[in-house]
């Protein structure tokens, strides 16, 4: 059957729009549902998926992997755009890559059932990168393709509704999937989004006879890309996309560093105990409110003061991003001081960052489409999504750089390769050689193993650190002391390598006593110390959660939560950029970017291209 290849001559909405909007809502449910729980899953669940357990990921590692995934989801749009614009057209590209997308969700749902879970995780995320990323520029360009000269004035409205459908789907998935993960485990939490992706694919197929199918350009794509007009258009848009990349490097941290920050806050809000990853649901519900609010009230009101062009909207959005991350920096400052602020403060930051998203992401989507020459629509949209790749790559590399490895963990991985196979089933004590590489000396580590994993680690000269921990605990009946007070209670104690002990207040429930260790250099993998955790005794039982049941299956006995202190010895594994310093770094980054963006926006001269 032949399909229409030019837009209808109508002043109303095209007939294929409801299928695109419905498809987008279901697809975004599947993507954001999976992404919402990804960091929590990697930190708390992944090492329990296989029968013998596995190595835990640090917070920095999980954030790095999360942003690596988020970045590559937005790199593969280049591939999807080339396939669509040169070979198969947007419709077929979306349909076939949606099936790849479904297979990715199926792989995630299979973790822990067959083979090694990290490989299933990698395979699932890889397939989702290809599927979700590949269809992304095609879907957003396919929306614009439905409009012609008579109804092109409706394009800003439909991109608002397009974004509305994105957040309609993501709102429900952000609330549902963390609950599924906690109560029923990863198989259901990753499986339900997969079902929604299958529904999204089916809905898109149903609209096949209602869509305008713009044919691929073939070699005409290259002619337009390398024409003077194409080069000029790209030379103007690529700097804009670079500015937007900085926006995404901060915005996507709502799914990583903001989730980890929420763990340190009081999650009871409006009388409801929230899960840390559920707070992300604030963003899509605000989007649903803000889209009509900005469209019909805020934009017209600002327009009375000065002309509100797309680039001015983006500039205002960048300023709001500065304010949002400035607030998260303030929140983290309170946490670093031992307070436990209400999650309501982070919700205020969500309000500001969502307003920023309205002005940068939605406007950028609409503006990029109108500025792209006709044969390059998908290609230009893929370059816009490439800005998300760049932003997330930057954040991933920052987290990789600031993550300090654990020397004990590295040596343990080397040691278990030489152990007999029964080490995973019987308790075992493993002596690790330490800094000098020789066992039987003062810098050895002792790893107490059970069920194929380290149950506890004993660091060199541990009695010195434990004695210092006892002093801190003796003065922490109500709260941990400040850094100045803690340093006073530790005194001038030094460990055998001549390094003084350092006290750091991490948050209201955790404090750290550490030293530079045998290499006498701070912030390296050889740092030694003990983390003190304050247990209040009111933690809910885990027997009614999937994680609690899984630990019981693996024979891991959890001690009942009793008021007191719990100590964890460590070697390295910390971060070079901790607490408020992390958020402050990104706040200065976006502030500097905004200052540079203002003259760029003033000099930019837009030119609009639409299909006839």
Question: Is residue 553 situated within a structural domain?
Answer: yes
Do 559 and 598 fall into the same domain? no
CATH number at residue 186: 1.20.1250.20
Do 374 and 445 fall into the same domain? no
Do 537 and 586 fall into the same domain? no
Do 325 and 429 fall into the same domain? no
- The 10 Å Cβ neighbour count of residue 307 is 7
DSSP secondary structure, 477-492, as one string:
SSSPPPHHHHHHHH-S
Burial class of residue 195, CB neighbours in 10 A (0-12, 13-18, 19+): middle
- Which H or E run contains 431? strand 428-432
- Which H or E run contains 551? helix 546-553
pLDDT for the residue numbered 532:
96
Span 555-588, pLDDT tens digits: 776 655 566 899 999 999 889 999 999 999 999 9
Question: Is residue 499 situated within a structural domain?
Answer: yes
Question: Is residue 289 situated within a structural domain?
Answer: yes
Domain that holds residue 396: 17-403+581-603
Q: Are 81 and 67 in contact (CB under 8 A)?
A: no
Question: Is residue 612 situated within a structural domain?
Answer: no
Question: Is residue 6 situated within a structural domain?
Answer: no
User: Which of 137-141, 336-340, 542-546 has the highest average model confidence (pLDDT)?
Assistant: 336-340
β-bridge mates for residue 514, sequence order: 502, 529
Do 365 and 443 fall into the same domain? no
Do 354 and 306 fall into the same domain? yes
The torsion angle over the Cα atoms of residues 340, 344, 347 and 352, rounded to 10 degrees, is -100
pLDDT for the residue numbered 210:
80
Cα 30 to Cα 180: distance, rounded to the nearest angstrom = 13
Question: Is residue 464 situated within a structural domain?
Answer: yes
Cα 323 to Cα 310: distance, rounded to the nearest angstrom = 20
Do 553 and 595 fall into the same domain? no
> Predicted confidence band at 434 (pLDDT cuts at 50, 70, 90)?
very high
Q: Which residues contact 315 (CB under 8 A, 6 or more apart)?
A: 594, 597, 598, 601
Do 327 and 352 fall into the same domain? yes
Do 332 and 411 fall into the same domain? no
Tokens 């946490």 sit on residue: 335
List the one residue out of 181, 196, 176 whose CA is nearest residue 30. Answer: 196
Pair of tokens at residue 452: 């194929």
Do 357 and 422 fall into the same domain? no
Do 556 and 569 fall into the same domain? yes
DSSP secondary structure, 160-179, as one string:
HHHHHHHHHHHHHHHHHHHH
- The 10 Å Cβ neighbour count of residue 8 is 16
Cα 429 to Cα 427: distance, rounded to the nearest angstrom = 7
Q: What is the pTM of this model?
A: 0.82
Question: Is residue 326 situated within a structural domain?
Answer: yes
Do 173 and 271 fall into the same domain? yes
Task: Go through the chain and tell me how many residues it has.
Answer: 612
Side-chain half-sphere CA neighbours of 147 within 13 A? 24
Q: Are 233 and 376 in contact (CB under 8 A)?
A: yes
- Provide the edge-to-edge strand list for the sheet that holds 445-450: 428-432, 445-450, 453-458
> Predicted confidence band at 359 (pLDDT cuts at 50, 70, 90)?
very high
Question: Is residue 291 situated within a structural domain?
Answer: yes
pLDDT for the residue numbered 214:
76
Structural domains in the chain (count): 2
């Amino acid at each position: 059957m032949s399909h229409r290849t030019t837009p209808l001559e109508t002043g109303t909405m095209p007939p294929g729009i409801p299928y695109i909007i419905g498809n987008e809502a279901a697809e975004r449910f599947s993507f954001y549902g999976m992404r919402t729980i990804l960091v929590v899953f990697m930190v708390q669940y992944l090492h329990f998926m296989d029968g013998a357990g596995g190595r835990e990921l640090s917070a920095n590692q999980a954030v790095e992997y999360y942003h690596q995934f988020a970045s590559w989801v937005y790199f593969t749009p280049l591939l999807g755009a080339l396939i669509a614009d040169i070979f198969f057209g947007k419709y077929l590209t979306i349909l076939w890559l949606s099936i790849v997308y479904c297979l990715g969700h199926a792989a995630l749902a299979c973790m822990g059932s067959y083979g090694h879970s990290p490989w299933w995780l990698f395979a699932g995320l890889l397939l989702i990168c290809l599927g979700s990323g590949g269809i992304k520029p095609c879907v957003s360009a396919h929306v614009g393709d439905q409009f012609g000269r008579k109804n092109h004035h409706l394009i800003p409205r439909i991109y608002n509704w397009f974004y509305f459908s994105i957040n309609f789907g993501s709102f429900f998935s952000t609330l549902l999937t963390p609950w599924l993960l906690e109560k029923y485990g990863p198989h259901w939490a990753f499986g339900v989004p997969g079902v929604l992706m299958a529904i999204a694919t089916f809905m898109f197929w149903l609209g096949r006879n209602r869509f305008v199918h713009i044919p691929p350009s073939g070699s005409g794509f290259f002619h337009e890309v390398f024409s003077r007009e194409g080069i000029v258009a790209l030379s103007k848009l690529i700097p804009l996309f670079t500015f937007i990349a900085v926006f995404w490097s901060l915005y996507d941290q709502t799914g990583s560093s903001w989730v980890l920050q929420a763990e340190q806050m009081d999650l009871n809000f409006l009388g409801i105990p929230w899960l840390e990853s559920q707070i992300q649901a604030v963003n899509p519900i605000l989007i649903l409110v803000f889209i009509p609010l900005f469209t019909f009230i805020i934009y017209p009101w600002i327009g009375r003061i000065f002309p509100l062009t797309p680039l001015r909207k983006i500039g205002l959005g960048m300023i709001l991003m500065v304010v949002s991350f400035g607030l998260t920096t303030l929140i983290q400052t309170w946490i670093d001081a031992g307070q436990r602020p209400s999650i309501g403060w982070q919700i205020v930051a969500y309000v500001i960052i969502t307003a920023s998203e309205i002005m940068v992401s939605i406007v950028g989507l609409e503006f990029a489409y109108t500025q792209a020459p006709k044969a390059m629509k998908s290609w230009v949209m893929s370059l816009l999504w490439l800005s998300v790749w760049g932003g997330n790559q930057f954040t991933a590399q920052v987290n990789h750089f600031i993550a300090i490895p654990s020397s004990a963990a590295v040596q343990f991985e080397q040691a278990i390769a030489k152990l007999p196979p029964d080490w995973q089933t019987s308790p075992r004590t493993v002596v690790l050689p330490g800094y000098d590489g020789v066992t039987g000396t003062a810098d050895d580590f002792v790893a107490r193993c059970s069920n194929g994993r380290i149950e506890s680690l004993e660091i060199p000269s541990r009695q010195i650190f434990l004695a210092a921990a006892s002093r801190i605990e003796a003065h922490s009946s109500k709260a941990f002391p400040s850094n100045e007070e803690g340093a006073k209670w530790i005194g001038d104690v030094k460990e055998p390598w001549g390094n003084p002990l350092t006290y750091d207040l991490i948050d209201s429930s955790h404090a750290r006593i550490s030293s530079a260790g045998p290499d006498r250099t701070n912030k390296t993998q050889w740092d030694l110390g003990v983390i003190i955790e304050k247990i209040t005794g009111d933690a809910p039982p885990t027997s009614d959660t999937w994680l609690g049941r899984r630990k019981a299956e693996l024979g891991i006995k959890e001690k009942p939560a009793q008021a007191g202190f719990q100590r964890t010895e460590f070697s390295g594994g910390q971060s070079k950029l901790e607490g408020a310093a992390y958020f402050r770094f990104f706040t200065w980054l976006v502030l500097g970017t905004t200052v540079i963006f203002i003259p760029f926006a003033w000099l930019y001269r837009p030119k609009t291209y639409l299909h006839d």
